[in-house]
């Protein structure tokens, strides 16, 4: 009997020991697999981070070079770089960089990861460089601190800048107040005008009395420092006087009447001398009180004549100071620029001219695993600022 009990005990002990050994083996395998897995993850993360750091250094070094070829533009660039090789931003190259399609810019920079670029001062405030608070992937939220308004006639008329003004500057929209006006009225516009830093007026087709009312309200506003963009027909007569100029309409409206030539390059409006612009409608300004401060940028051809003779023709595109403010005039905001995209240049000019303050860059909405930031010192308009590059996967 004792022998039988000992035999049963031994059998149970053997089974328990076998189970224990099997359990230990399984546990060991799980433990080994876990550490192998986590080690591999750690190595992968480390490798990804190292690659990002390497890419960020290469990209930032390229950006603060002069690029290639020396005088590259968006069509000829093979290596992006927008300084003079002495860390001073070349504004022409920087603007050409911003014309590039995002995916094309990544290819030229030699990266597959996403990026975003912006500039800050010594206090960490985001700086407006050539009208841009930042550039790169469109998912990054950039906003301007500016009070802006947009006026157009009504929903059936021209509104080429309406969406742009709403999206970029959160502009308050006004129109004539009639049955086709879905926003605040002309009367509201006049009473609110001093609330704004920057205003765009697009082809309002005002009556003479409404134009005079606008001029009476806007004159002191611009004198005090307001920035005004106007395009198209302001007053309904052939001529309306205000802001030191006369706004007029060309009697003919055939394509040859609407053909203008760029006569002067401008720091705000990036058209090339002797290039042609065909405006949809032909309106012009004549200087009656501004004098030499009026910068004429494009003039109507009027006939097939030599470039030098065009300098005496009607002014289709101009800007001028008015007191502490500025006025920009376009024959129309609807045009074909035969050497590029008119709308892109127009919108870029507005961003640059509006002198808007940039709010902090918000990257919280982007999907990312690893994120790398690199800083480089550059010079813009004689001021030292910091170029900040985010790179992530």
| Helix-helix angle 162-169:342-353, to 10 degrees | 40
pLDDT range class, residue 30, cuts 50, 70, 90 = very low
| Helix-helix angle 91-99:342-353, to 10 degrees | 130
142 part of a folded domain: no
User: Alpha-carbon distance 274 to 272, whole Å?
Assistant: 6
Q: What CATH number is given to the structural domain containing 330?
A: 3.40.50.880
126 part of a folded domain: no
Name the DSSP letter for residue 185.
-
Mean pLDDT for 80-86 is 93
**CB within 8 A of 190, min separation 6: which ones?**
213, 214, 217
**CB within 8 A of 362, min separation 6: which ones?**
140, 141, 142, 143
Which tens digit of pLDDT belongs to each residue from 188-216?
999 999 999 999 999 999 999 999 999 99
Cα-based torsion angle of the residue sequence 349, 236, 294, 291 in order, rounded to the nearest 10 degrees: -170
What pLDDT was estimated at residue 339?
87
What pLDDT was estimated at residue 369?
83
Coil, strand or helix at 111: coil
In sequence order, what DSSP letters do the residues of 25-55 get, joined into one string?
A: HHHHHHHHHHHHHHHHHHHHHHHHHHHHHHH
Pairing label, strands 295-300, 172-174: unpaired
User: Alpha-carbon distance 195 to 29, whole Å?
Assistant: 72
Q: Which domain holds residue 336?
A: 147-355
138 part of a folded domain: no
Mean pLDDT for 117-145 is 93
pTM of the model: 0.79
For the chain, what is the mean pLDDT?
87
Cis before 69? omega within 30? yes
Which tens digit of pLDDT belongs to each residue from 234-281?
987 678 999 999 999 988 889 989 999 999 999 899 899 999 999 999
* Percent share of the chain, pLDDT over 70: 85
What pLDDT was estimated at residue 303?
54
11 part of a folded domain: no
User: Alpha-carbon distance 345 to 337, whole Å?
Assistant: 9
20 part of a folded domain: no
Per the structure, the count of domains in the chain is 1
What pLDDT was estimated at residue 237?
67
pLDDT range class, residue 18, cuts 50, 70, 90 = low
232 part of a folded domain: yes
Place of tokens 């050497």: 339
What pLDDT was estimated at residue 203?
96
Q: Classify burial at 9, counting beta carbons within 10 Å of its beta carbon; exposed 0-12, middle 13-18, buried 19 or more.
A: exposed
Task: Kindly state the greatest CA–CA separation across the chain.
Answer: 130
Using the Cα atoms of residue 344, residue 317, residue 353 and residue 88 in order, give the sign of their dihedral.
positive
260 part of a folded domain: yes
Q: b/e string for 13-28 if b means 16 or more Cβ within 10 A? A: eeeeeeeeeeeeeeee
243 part of a folded domain: yes
Using the Cα atoms of residue 350, residue 353, residue 357 and residue 363 in order, give the sign of their dihedral.
positive
Token pair listed for 90: 């070349």
């Amino acid at each position: 009997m004792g022998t039988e009990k000992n035999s049963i005990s031994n059998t149970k002990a053997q089974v328990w020991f076998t189970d224990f050994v099997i359990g230990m083996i399984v546990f060991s395998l799980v433990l080994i697999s876990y550490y192998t897995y986590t080690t591999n993850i750690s190595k992968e993360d480390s490798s990804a981070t190292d690659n990002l750091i390497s890419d960020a250094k290469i990209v930032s070094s390229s950006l603060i070079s002069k690029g290639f070829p020396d005088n590259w533009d968006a069509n000829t660039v093979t290596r992006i770089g927008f300084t003079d090789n002495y860390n001073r931003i070349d504004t022409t190259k920087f603007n050409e960089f911003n014309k590039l399609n995002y995916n094309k810019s990544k290819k030229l920079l030699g990266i597959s990861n996403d990026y975003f670029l912006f500039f800050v001062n010594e206090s960490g405030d985001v700086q407006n460089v050539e009208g841009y608070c930042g550039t790169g992937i469109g998912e990054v939220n950039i906003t301007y601190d500016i009070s802006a308004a947009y006026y157009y006639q009504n929903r059936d008329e021209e509104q080429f800048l309406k969406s742009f003004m709403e999206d970029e500057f959160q502009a308050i929209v006004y129109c004539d107040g009639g049955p086709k006006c879905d926003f605040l009225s002309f009367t509201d516009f006049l009473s609110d005008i001093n609330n704004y830093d920057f205003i765009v007026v697009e082809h309002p087709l005002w009556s003479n009395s409404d134009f005079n009312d606008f001029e009476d309200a806007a004159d002191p506003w611009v004198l005090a420092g307001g920035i005004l963009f106007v395009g198209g027909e302001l007053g309904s007569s052939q001529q309306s006087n205000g802001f030191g100029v006369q706004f007029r309409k060309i009697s003919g409206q055939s394509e040859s009447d609407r053909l203008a030539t760029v006569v002067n390059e401008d720091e705000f409006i990036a058209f090339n001398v002797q290039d042609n612009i065909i405006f949809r409608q032909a309106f012009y300004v004549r200087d009656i009180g501004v004098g030499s401060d009026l910068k004429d940028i494009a003039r109507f051809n009027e006939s097939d004549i030599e470039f030098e003779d065009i300098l005496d023709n009607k002014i289709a595109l101009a800007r001028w100071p008015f007191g502490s403010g500025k006025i920009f005039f376009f024959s129309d905001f609807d045009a074909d620029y035969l050497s590029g995209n008119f709308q892109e240049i127009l919108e870029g000019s507005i961003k640059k001219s509006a002198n808007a303050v940039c709010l902090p860059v918000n990257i919280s909405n982007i999907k990312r695993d690893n994120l790398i930031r690199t800083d480089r010192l550059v010079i813009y308009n004689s001021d030292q600022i910091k170029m900040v590059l985010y790179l992530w996967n």
